[in-house]
Amino acid sequence: MLVRTRFAPSPTGYMHIGNLRTAIFEYLIAKKDNGSFILRIEDTDQERKVEGAIDFIYKTLELCNFKIDEGPNNPGEYGPYIQSERKELYKEYAMKLVESGHAYMCFCTEEELERQRHAAELRRVPFMYNGKCSILTKEEIEENLAKGLPYVIRQKMPKEGVTEVNDLVYGKIKIDNSILEDQILLKSDGFPTYNFANVVDDHLMGITHVIRGHEYLDQTAKYNLLYQAFGWEPPQYIHVAMVLGSDGNKLSKRNGDASFMDLYNEGYLPEAIVNYLVLLGWSPPTNQEIFSMEELINIFDPKRISKSSSQYDVKKLNWVNAQYIKKLDDKEYIEFVKPHLEKAYDLSNKSPEWINKLLTTYKNHISYGKEIATVTAPFFTSVNKINAECEEFLHSDESIKNTLKVFKEKLEKLSDFTSENLNNLINEVKEESGAKGKLLYMPIRIAATHEMHGPELADTLYLTGKDTIIERISEVYENL
């Protein structure tokens, strides 16, 4: 059997990371078995459609290096791949269910439904449509149609027994039919509901595996009843637990949680985002945490998807992204991070050599692109006064004043100001002053940069500039 998975986002804005994680799982399942990954745009909710959102979807999948085997921008034999272009198809299949007795036309007005909701509230029970129109006679239906009354088509649910759902993660689940409402399949405007369009499209497009959120597991019983009504074979269901935010709530773009493009614009590498998200709710067979796409395809096993919710952890994402930044060669790294520096500061008075040196010096000190502006701020803004911790260290040993004196004297005589020569100079200070370890490096760093920690000292000194260092050390020395 050729494995066919589909990613079916709604064009309602940027893609949030929970939705992207689903796409990653679907992509890996398809590619592991040399199957097909299909993109389908679910735009039946026209009110929520956002202009340009489809382009965001294309861009996101492209950046993540997902090969779309079929979709609106790469049509195959199962199109169209945008649901609004399949509108007549859904009506045809809805009417087939009406003819077979598995669905019916519902003429209830919003006022009638509101009365039913109110009655449910008074009884303190969840609202479920009471099936009033399911018992209309043929004559009553024809009379309503002749009057031009608007209607929806509802699925006629069994009210007794159970419906089974076989899920790869959760196993066999039995859903009591009594809790299944006669859901709307086709709205009065002719557009299908999400649940109905999914079933029709998944069958007609030959989808073999469907990944959905665990919170929709009960709803899958309705899917299975539709498959049974049509006489179709259901796909393999894979329900995944939710991704929760730091507040314990489900991640959602409606709640303002990070989208893929938000992260990308902050300077997170797409492959790092993919790597991190695949580990949210799925565990590899080894302790390895950094994977190439090829490695993920080879080892991905949906049976290792967890039943428990996972929590979005920015610190872990930063760690993963930092590993990918470190793997970039210097040219790739500079091209990646430089725009963030240019956006933050005026670089017109800085040489290309100095800029590139600054960026590469901090390569191992950032976890996302935009962070370069934060860690390099001392080179572009007024340096803060030495903090209390630094002051305490400078007064912690009598030898520190002499170390700074020797360093300043040698620096003033240094004619060729390079990182290599600065490194040699520091070694000379070590020999002459007798200082070593933190009593050698820490005083020089604090006096020159007003910071206790940072990248390689010689590189930091070079970027700070000779005159600036001499001025700062002189000031510190006088106060010791």
Please give the pLDDT value at position 394.
92
Question: Are 96 and 172 within one domain?
Answer: yes
CA 9 to chain centre: 13
The chain-wide mean pLDDT, for the chain, equals: 93
Question: For residues 267 and 372, what is the distance between their CA atoms, to the nearest angstrom?
Answer: 10
Beta strands in 361-439 (DSSP E): none
Asked whether residue 66 carries a pLDDT value surpassing 80, the answer given is: yes
Residue 202 lies in a domain: yes
Q: How many domains does the chain have?
A: 4
Residues 97, 153 contacting (CB under 8 angstroms): yes
Residue 77 lies in a domain: no
Residue 323 lies in a domain: no
Q: Check which CATH number belongs to the domain holding 419 and give it.
A: 1.10.10.350
Residue 440 lies in a domain: yes
Question: Are 188 and 110 within one domain?
Answer: yes
Asked whether residue 45 carries a pLDDT value surpassing 80, the answer given is: no
Q: What spatial distance separates the first Cα and last Cα of the chain, rounded to whole Å?
A: 79
Residue 125 binned pLDDT confidence (cut-offs 50, 70, 90)? confident
pLDDT tens-place string over residues 391-406: 999 999 999 999 999 9
How many CB atoms are closer than 10 A to CB 108? 16
Residue 14 binned pLDDT confidence (cut-offs 50, 70, 90)? confident
Question: For residues 390 and 369, what is the distance between their CA atoms, to the nearest angstrom?
Answer: 28
Residue carrying the six token digits 């002749």: 146
**Token pair of 108 as six digits:** 């209830």
Asked whether residue 410 carries a pLDDT value surpassing 70, the answer given is: yes
**Token pair of 3 as six digits:** 């494995």
Question: Are 360 and 409 within one domain?
Answer: no
Question: Are 364 and 458 within one domain?
Answer: no
Please give the pLDDT value at position 454.
92
Range 30-56 burial, b when 16+ CB lie within 10 A, else e: bbbeebbbbbbbbbbbeeebeeebbeb
Q: If you average pLDDT over residues 226-248, what whole number do you get?
A: 92
State the Cα torsion 207-209-210-215 to the nearest 10°.
Answer: 160
Asked whether residue 185 carries a pLDDT value surpassing 80, the answer given is: yes
Q: 3-state class of 434 per DSSP?
A: coil
Q: Choosing from 59, 253, 405, 466, which is the catalytic residue?
A: 253
Question: For residues 272 and 323, what is the distance between their CA atoms, to the nearest angstrom?
Answer: 8
Question: Are 100 and 227 within one domain?
Answer: yes
147 is catalytic: no
Question: For residues 227 and 223, what is the distance between their CA atoms, to the nearest angstrom?
Answer: 6
Backbone angles phi, psi at 197, to 5 degrees: -60, -40
Q: If you average pLDDT over residues 292-320, what whole number do you get?
A: 95
Question: Are 17 and 47 within one domain?
Answer: yes
Q: List C-alpha distances in Å: 121 to 65, 124, 125, 126, 184.
A: 50, 5, 6, 7, 21
Q: If you average pLDDT over residues 259-284, what whole number do you get?
A: 95
Query: Which percentage of the chain shows pLDDT scores above 90?
Result: 82
Residue carrying the six token digits 């991905």: 300
Asked whether residue 13 carries a pLDDT value surpassing 90, the answer given is: no
Question: Are 410 and 366 within one domain?
Answer: no
Asked whether residue 458 carries a pLDDT value surpassing 90, the answer given is: yes
Residue 48 lies in a domain: yes
Please give the pLDDT value at position 1.
77
Residue ending a domain, among 201, 224, 240, is 240
Question: For residues 373 and 342, what is the distance between their CA atoms, to the nearest angstrom?
Answer: 9
Asked whether residue 254 carries a pLDDT value surpassing 80, the answer given is: no
Please give the pLDDT value at position 226.
97
Question: Are 291 and 201 within one domain?
Answer: no
Q: Looking at 87-91, 257-261, 326-330, 473-477, which range is the least confident one?
A: 257-261
Residue 255 binned pLDDT confidence (cut-offs 50, 70, 90)? low
Question: Are 29 and 44 within one domain?
Answer: yes
Residue 79 lies in a domain: no
Q: List C-alpha distances in Å: 33 to 1, 70, 210, 351.
A: 10, 16, 15, 51
Query: Which percentage of the chain shows pLDDT scores above 70?
Result: 99
What pTM does this model have? Answer: 0.90
Q: Residue 13: what residue type?
A: G
Asked whether residue 256 carries a pLDDT value surpassing 60, the answer given is: no
Q: 3-state class of 444 per DSSP?
A: helix
Question: Are 236 and 259 within one domain?
Answer: no
Question: Are 248 and 217 within one domain?
Answer: no
Residue carrying the six token digits 């894979």: 238
Asked whether residue 257 carries a pLDDT value surpassing 90, the answer given is: no
Q: If you average pLDDT over residues 440-450, what whole number do you get?
A: 94
Residue ending a domain, among 240, 271, 298, is 240
Question: For residues 5 and 396, what is the distance between their CA atoms, to the nearest angstrom?
Answer: 65
pLDDT tens-place string over residues 362-374: 999 999 999 999 9
Residues 188, 151 contacting (CB under 8 angstroms): yes
Which range of residues forms the domain containing residue 18? 4-72+243-311
Question: Are 335 and 192 within one domain?
Answer: no
Residue 478: exposed, middle, or buried by beta-carbon count in 10 A (0-12, 13-18, 19+)?
A: exposed
Q: Check which CATH number belongs to the domain holding 63 and give it.
A: 3.40.50.620
Residue ending a domain, among 222, 240, 258, is 240
Residue 381 lies in a domain: no
